[in-house]
Amino acid sequence: MAGETLPEPAAPINADPAPSSPTGRGRSFSLLQVVLRQRELTVVVVTVLVVLIFGIDNSQFLTTANIATICQYIASFAVIGFGEVLILVLGEIDLSAGAVYLTSPWLVYLFWKDGIPIGVAIALALVCCVGVGLVNGLVTVWLNVPSLIVTLAVNYILFGFVLVYSADEQVDMPGQGGTFGKIFGIGEWSTILWAAGIMVLIWALLKRTRFGVHVIATGGNLLGAAESGIPVRRVKVWCFIIIAATSGLIGIMDGIRIGSVNPGEDGLQFILLGLVAAVVGGTALTGGRGTVLGTAVGAIFLGALEDGFNLVGVNANVFYVVEGFLILVAMILNIQLGSLSKRLRR
Amino acid sequence: MTVPGNVGPGDGVQPPMPASPTGPGAVAPPVPDDQRDVVLRTQGITKRFGPVVALRGVDMELHRGEVLGIVGDNGAGKSTFIKILTGFYPPDGGQMFIEGQPVSLRSVTDARRHGIETVYQDLALVPQLSVYQNLFLNSELTTFGRLGWLSKGKMRQLAKQYLEDIKVNIPDIDAEAETLSGGQRQAIAVARATRQSAKIILLDEPLAAMGARESALIIDLIHSLSRERGISIIVIDHNYTHLFEICDRLNVIRQGRVAIDVRVQDTSLDQLTELMVSDFRSQLAAGQAQLNR
């Protein structure tokens, strides 16, 4: 788009037919093609439908209080999902982000208990998260262990670490007071705003920066990217660092919001939800393709679904069955529509 | 980078050449006119892998703006030689000169720094990136320095301009590479290499699995780059018909040497075939004789 607004540097020689502006087949698209081109669109439509159905069916659903509840719920796994987009675009996967989410508030608590001021404790905890990302990345790229296994192992290490240090007991989270607490999780909309901020950052990183192009190139054609001189290993390590840092950050804020940290299995749930949000939103598991905005919609879809079923009074166990089927259907649609769109474009 | 004699000169293959006293930058008058336009020259390149001798002293010259075809059967040493030219393997002996300067290439990146680039049809592009993003891969234009914010408009503009300049017609530069035909992808890959300052391009079977229209696109591009921009191109293929269409000169590699060096205009497909077959027959006879003894 921006390219067309630039003045053409007067090239009088070229009075040829099509001045090669994107007038080709790019412009002659049908509505169907528009729909197929935006991978996010299918999930947007489905999500809007879900929201409408629950909104009409239950007067509680679209109240401010309930929307805030949904937002607080989805903020955490949405952030994990955004980071996961980078990793999936690389053609890798990170299963440890949920455990990082679980571990980071514990680290804050442990540092704080040792007399370190809360701000510094948070900073230190985030440095530890960066360290986890660094380990994930380095073991994956330098020791050639598949990231699936590396991050699964790290996931268990962190989970066990929390169980050991907590002695399986819940503790009160520091940092509740005043404006600080409000910004870092206590405020009703605090975590979702942070999530939105992280979304914009990761979106810009992927779509608007040189680094993002290199991430796509690394995931889309590893050999070709390396051949053209892109430091593919460094790119991968950075992505593992980014997902660990953002997951850790949202974990800390959730800890402050809830007021206590328990060594439960929330983190392990959230990594799966984050992955599902990314994949349902239109991010390919095969690398090279990912959408941060789609992931956001995917997260809203999952959040609205769970909350709606709760309000309607569907048994939580039944919900899992329904959720499973919906994920399957969404994925089948994504893949089939994707290949249809590819055929149309040729 | 121009360390003479670091590649073990004691190979016994040094003496024969006109022996230009190659001091750096010494464009001395004794260099004949014909030689001045030599962009790439190899002299007695040898390479062995354990007991197997792959190259026994390859002498080759590539002129500015020339399209040189390199032919050879499997195992003739063709691909080893190409890999040496692109910095993938170091040679065991012999010397390489780029524009008269002796060089030893330590890596593919090193070769690229010297302006030599190989283009592979399927390896080069990122399917999920657009045409212009592929053209600028790893040389993206950015604003805000280290932040690396992409100047998309500028890249689009320049990409469009450049493709027009080299007469590659791609209808939509925002199209993902995945949606392009094989010929278009090849063209984009070549365009990227030349845009990023490659002076010598190596094409590995550029017309493999291509229809007539696609081939025409690539042949036109090769000719436009070589004739109008002075880019030197080496085409590797074992299909002689292709090479006759594209090249100015052919080098046939046989048993680790350049066995035949001929200008396309001085020969015909039949003649070359005859030459090769007779050569082959004599070798066969020699082999037979040896066996009989």
Q: What is the pLDDT of residue B19?
A: 39
pLDDT tens-place string over residues A183-221: 888 888 999 999 999 999 999 999 999 999 999 999 999
- Please give the ipTM for the structure prediction: 0.81
Burial class (CB in 10 A: 0-12, 13-18, 19+), A170: exposed
Assign B6 a pLDDT band (cuts: 50, 70, 90).
very low
Among B125, B129, B152, beta carbon nearest to A2 = B152
Residues of chain A whose beta carbon is less than 8 angstroms from a beta carbon of chain B are: 2-3, 5-6, 14, 18, 20, 22, 24-26, 208-211, 213-214, 216-217, 219-221, 223-225, 227-230, 288-289, 342, 345-346
pLDDT of B246 above 70: yes
A chain contacts of residue B142, beta-carbon cutoff 8 Å? 209-210
Residue contact B174–A224, C-beta within 8 A: no
By CA distance, what is A290's nearest residue in B?
B128
CB B84 within 8 A of CB B45: yes
Nearest 5 degrees, angle CA B195-CA B197-CA B203? 75
For residue B41, the distance in angstroms to the closest alpha carbon of chain A comes to: 24
A chain contacts of residue B125, beta-carbon cutoff 8 Å? 221, 224
CB A80 within 8 A of CB A271: yes
Tokens at A299, concatenated: 């997260």
Residue contact B172–A214, C-beta within 8 A: no
pLDDT of A33 above 70: no
Q: What is the pLDDT of residue A9?
A: 36
B chain contacts of residue A208, beta-carbon cutoff 8 Å? 149-150
Residue contact A210–B142, C-beta within 8 A: yes
Tokens at A47, concatenated: 């999500």
Instruction: Please tell me the least confidently modeled range out of A21-35, A137-151, A311-325.
Output: A21-35
Q: Which domains does chain A have, with CATH numbers?
A: 66-339 (1.10.3470)
For A51, phi then psi, to 5°, come to -65, -45
pLDDT tens-place string over residues B265-276: 888 888 888 877
Residues of chain B whose beta carbon is less than 8 angstroms from a beta carbon of chain A are: 108-109, 112, 123-129, 133, 137-138, 140, 142, 147-150, 152-154, 156-157, 160, 163-164, 169, 171-175, 178-179
pLDDT of B9 above 50: no
Q: What span, in angstroms and rounded, lies between the C-alpha atoms of A228 and B10? A: 35
Q: What is the pLDDT of residue B157?
A: 93
pLDDT tens-place string over residues A84-102: 999 999 999 999 999 999 9
Residue contact B164–A14, C-beta within 8 A: yes
Q: What is the pLDDT of residue B36?
A: 58
Model confidence, pTM? 0.80
- DSSP label at residue B179: G
pLDDT tens-place string over residues B63-107: 999 999 998 877 788 888 988 998 888 999 999 999 999 999 988
pLDDT of A143 above 90: yes
pLDDT of B15 above 60: no
Reduced to 3 states (helix: H, G, I; strand: E, B; else coil), residue B101 is strand
Residue contact B123–A224, C-beta within 8 A: yes
Residue contact A209–B149, C-beta within 8 A: yes
Three-state secondary structure string covering chain A: CHHHHCCCCCCCCCCCCCCCCCCCCCCCCCHHHHHHHCHHHHHHHHHHHHHHHHHHHCCCCCCHHHHHHHHHHHHHHHHHHHHHHHHHHCCCCCCCHHHHHHHHHHHHHHHHHCCCCHHHHHHHHHHHHHHHHHHHHHHHHHCCCCHHHHHHHHHHHHHHHHHHHHCCCCEECCCCCHHHHHHHHHCCCHHHHHHHHHHHHHHHHHHHEHHHHHHHHHHHCHHHHHHCCCCHHHHHHHHHHHHHHHHHHHHHHHHHHHCEECCCCHHHHHHHHHHHHHHHCCCCCCCCCCCHHHHHHHHHHHHHHHHHHHHHCCCHHHHHHHHHHHHHHHHHHHHHHHHHHHHHHC
Q: What span, in angstroms and rounded, lies between the C-alpha atoms of A151 and A135? A: 9
Percent of chain A with pLDDT over 90: 56
Give which of B41, B50, B51, B57 is closest to B91, Cα–Cα: B57
By CA distance, what is B141's nearest residue in A?
A210
Q: What span, in angstroms and rounded, lies between the C-alpha atoms of B71 and B168? A: 27
Of residues B106 and B283, the one with the higher pLDDT is B106
Residue contact B128–A220, C-beta within 8 A: yes
| Alpha helix stretches (DSSP H) within B130-173 | 131-135, 152-165
By CA distance, what is B138's nearest residue in A?
A230
Q: Which domains does chain B have, with CATH numbers?
A: 33-292 (3.40.50.300)
